[in-house]
């Protein structure tokens, strides 16, 4: 504390974020608390993955089917996968999108075609894998556009979210510290700061994704 106020450091990476959290808590001599700051940040990131919705969370990844594998209809999901936006075959004419099927629907479809290999038309998510149907008859390229988890700062010195919203990270970590400190008054203040930062970020995400022009009504299957 300097002159009764927090000496706020510039937050640019994982180390400076931890330093800022310690400064705001004014507990720079509390080694037990300092040791828990990485956990406060980790808990915040878990909350971000559930509540932040901006275009920066969407990413693209490509892989290949492997017809020599024991089960070529299964492809591993990316490690940072959260939810699928779109999956297609970019090497096929027209780059067709695959349609989603539930596990039960997939089983019924395979039975109806005698599980004959062919160009995939459908996909399902099973655990940490994508299941394709029909079973690929060639090594097709598969492109996924999906919502990814925020890169954790424990494994990265910085990430796009810390650069874009350091206040969200700071208030998130401070809010997670409140139960440990048993300080309900601070929880309310930091929770309010976190909500404001989160709402502002999500509003910006909506604006950046949908401000390219007025939406047009289009009937599926009809070329404009």
pLDDT per residue rounded down to tens, the chain (224 residues)? 433 445 556 999 999 999 999 999 988 888 999 999 999 999 999 999 999 999 999 999 999 999 999 999 999 999 999 999 999 999 999 999 999 999 999 999 999 999 999 999 999 998 999 999 999 999 999 999 999 999 999 999 999 999 999 999 999 999 999 888 887 678 888 999 999 999 999 999 888 765 555 555 555 555 45
What is the spatial distance between Cα 179 and Cα 186, in angstroms, rounded to a whole number?
10
If you write DSSP's letter for every residue of 45-83 in order, what string do you get? HHHHHHH---GGGEEEEEEE--TTSSSTTEEEPPTTEEE
pLDDT computed for residue 157 by the predictor: 97
Tell me how far apart the alpha carbons of residues 183 and 43 are, in angstroms, rounded to a whole number.
Answer: 18
pLDDT at 187: 83
pTM: 0.82
> What are the angstrom distances between the C-alpha of 11 and each of 18, 157, 163, 168, 213?
9, 12, 8, 11, 35
* Burial grade of 102 (CB within 10 A; 0-12, 13-18, 19 or more): exposed
Tally of CB atoms within 10 A around 64: 13
Query: How far apart are alpha carbons 183 and 188 in whole angstroms?
Result: 9
**Eight-state DSSP code of residue 94:** T
């Amino acid at each position: 504390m300097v002159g009764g106020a927090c000496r706020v450091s510039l937050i640019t990476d994982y180390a400076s974020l931890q330093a800022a959290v310690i400064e705001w808590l004014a507990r720079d001599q509390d080694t037990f608390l300092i040791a828990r700051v990485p956990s406060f940040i980790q808990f915040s990131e878990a909350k971000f993955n559930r509540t932040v919705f901006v275009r920066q969370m969407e990413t693209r990844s490509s892989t290949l089917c492997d017809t020599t594998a024991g089960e070529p209809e299964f492809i591993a999901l990316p490690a940072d996968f959260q939810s699928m936006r779109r999956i297609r075959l970019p090497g096929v004419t027209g780059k067709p999108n695959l349609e989603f099927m539930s596990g039960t629907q997939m089983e019924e479809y395979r039975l109806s075609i005698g599980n004959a290999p062919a160009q995939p038309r459908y996909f399902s998510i099973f655990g940490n894998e994508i299941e394709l149907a029909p079973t690929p008859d060639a090594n097709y390229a598969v492109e996924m556009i999906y919502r990814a988890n925020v890169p954790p700062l424990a494994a990265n010195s910085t990430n796009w979210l810390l650069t874009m919203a350091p206040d969200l990270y700071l208030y998130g970590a401070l809010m997670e510290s409140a139960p440990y400190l048993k300080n309900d008054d601070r929880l309310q203040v930091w929770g309010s700061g976190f909500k404001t930062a989160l709402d502002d970020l999500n509003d910006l995400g909506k604006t950046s994704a949908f401000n390219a022009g007025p939406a047009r009504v289009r009937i599926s299957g009809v070329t404009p």
